[in-house]
A and B are shown apart, each in its own frame.
Chain A
Amino acid sequence: MKLDLVGLAAAMFLATYPSRALPLLSGHFEQLSPRVLEYLRLVAPAVLAALAAKSTFVTDAQGPGSLHVGIEWVAVPLCVVLVVWRRNLFVGLLAAVLLVAGARAIGLA
């Protein structure tokens, strides 16, 4: 069994782990001002919204980033509306997946 790329995986671990661990292990965060902590609290909604927006509106498949228009523009907001209404992420995800799968099945997307 070939094992050459296990070394690459180990190297990638070394490239990934510090960014995951350093802030969690650093003692400096206990001395941060409330203002900085408030900014850190806002990181979560900002980053998650950024990931969702990038995945929904931008495609890298044709050149250096281009606007993507597709069924996801409807499916993602539908999920958000259902989550706000029902307070249930699973229902929102299910509706989004069914919408996208259905649209693709009938050739709309």
Chain B
Amino acid sequence: MVSPRTPSEREARRAALRSGRRQLVLDSLGIMASAGGFGVVFGLAARQAGFSVIEASVMSVVVFAGAAQFAAVGFVRAGMPWPAIFLLTALLNARHLLYSAALRPWLVEVPALKRAVMAHFLTDEGFALSVAHFQRLGFADLRGYWLAAIGATFIPWNVATLIGVIGASAIPDPARLGLDVVFPAAMSGLVVALVTGRREIVAVVAGCVVAVVVGLLIRHPGCGARRRPHRPVRGAGAARGHPRRAARQPDADGPERGRPGAGREDACGGRWVE
């Protein structure tokens, strides 16, 4: 990052920042809705798995990794030992290595202590929003990072977890409202800002092909770890695994086949915030 020297350069940079942050705020709105919706579902799932309010909230604050948290709820209910949960969490979240490495060149001038704090808030959504923001600007914007990582993701996820764990039985299933499509749509939309040439297009196509092929061949850790008879709790469908799939896939054991909220219990999914 090269610092502006002349007053005109500084003014141009300020204008770029203002415009870039406006765009970032707009981009963040859908992510906030998605984080909020599935945070509620996580809170409800955690409560059903026997988590107290403090346990669920502490998990959302200190782990802050949606996929791992949804999986952990399933694992806890399945009675899996903690070392196994530790290992699976590490595997599920190993992709953060790539995000962190990709952000590193942008943050060369940021003090190490600040980078250490920034790391905790690094999620799929935070990364997607902030890297697109940095590329639009051509330089790193720390306030933009905090907005993406904390404003758009951390706060909605944690507030929603609290709402969910305290009592969200009256809140409708996010999948019924179409909120489950926000994650793939947001990721795709944010990719658009990152594509500037043929190399990026090749990277995008390769990423899609590898993900689909691997996804078809390899099972997500913890998926189908266990199944229990259906318990009809409103708004809880997505909590039983992948939110969208939960709404869509009928529960072979349950009486309410195919209804939102009647999904099968599964330890997988929850990639919606993380």
* Interface contact A61-B185, CB-CB below 8 Å: no
Q: Is B257 in contact with chain A by the CB < 8 A criterion?
A: no
Q: Which of B78-123 contact A (CB under 8 A)?
A: 82, 85-87, 89-90, 93-105, 107-108, 112, 115-116, 118-120, 122
The closest CB in chain A to the CB of B63 belongs to: A12
Stretch among B4-12, B207-215, B228-236 lining the A interface: B207-215
Beyond A80-B189, A97-B177, whether A49 also contacts B86 by CB under 8 A is: no
B interface, CB within 8 angstroms of A: 26-27, 29-30, 50-55, 58-59, 62-65, 68-69, 72, 76, 82, 85-87, 89-90, 93-105, 107-108, 112, 115-116, 118-120, 122, 124, 127-128, 131-132, 175-195, 199-200, 203-212, 215-220, 223-224, 241-242, 244-249, 263-264, 266, 268-269, 271
* Interface contact B178-A5, CB-CB below 8 Å: no
The closest CB in chain A to the CB of B64 belongs to: A16
* Interface contact A60-B223, CB-CB below 8 Å: yes
Partner of B63, one of A16, A22, A56: A16
- Top 10 closest pairs, chain A to chain B, by CB: A101-B178, A93-B30, A50-B211, A58-B215, A46-B207, A100-B178, A21-B119, A50-B207, A53-B208, A23-B101
Q: How many positions in chain A have a CB within 8 Å of any CB in the partner chain?
A: 84
Beyond A9-B55, A17-B119, A46-B206, whether A88 also contacts B97 by CB under 8 A is: no
Q: Is A108 in contact with chain B by the CB < 8 A criterion?
A: no
Partner of A42, one of B29, B53, B64, B203: B203
Beyond A60-B219, A65-B217, whether A53 also contacts B245 by CB under 8 A is: no
Beyond A5-B55, A54-B211, A65-B216, whether A25 also contacts B116 by CB under 8 A is: yes
With the chains together, A60 CA to B192 CA distance in Å?
27
The closest CB in chain B to the CB of A91 belongs to: B26
With the chains together, A60 CA to B272 CA distance in Å?
15
Partner of B58, one of A9, A30, A43: A9
* Interface contact B181-A43, CB-CB below 8 Å: no
Task: Specify which chain A residues have a CB less than 8 angstroms from the CB of B52 in the assembled complex.
Answer: 1-3, 5
Interface membership of chain A positions 4-20, coded 1 if the CB is closer than 8 angstroms to chain B and 0 otherwise: 11111111111111011
Give, as a whole number of angstroms, the nearest-CB distance from B149 to chain A: 11
A-side binding surface: helix, strand, loop or mixed? helix
Partner of A62, one of B59, B86, B107, B249: B249
* Interface contact A88-B96, CB-CB below 8 Å: no
Task: Specify which chain A residues have a CB less than 8 angstroms from the CB of B97 in the assembled complex.
Answer: 19, 22-23
Task: Specify which chain A residues have a CB less than 8 angstroms from the CB of B249 in the assembled complex.
Answer: 59, 61-62
Partner of A19, one of B93, B218, B264, B268: B93
With the chains together, A43 CA to B202 CA distance in Å?
11
Partner of A24, one of B30, B103, B195: B103
* Interface contact B188-A59, CB-CB below 8 Å: no
Give, as a whole number of angstroms, the nearest-CB distance from A43 to chain B: 4
Task: Specify which chain A residues have a CB less than 8 angstroms from the CB of B217 in the assembled complex.
Answer: 64-65
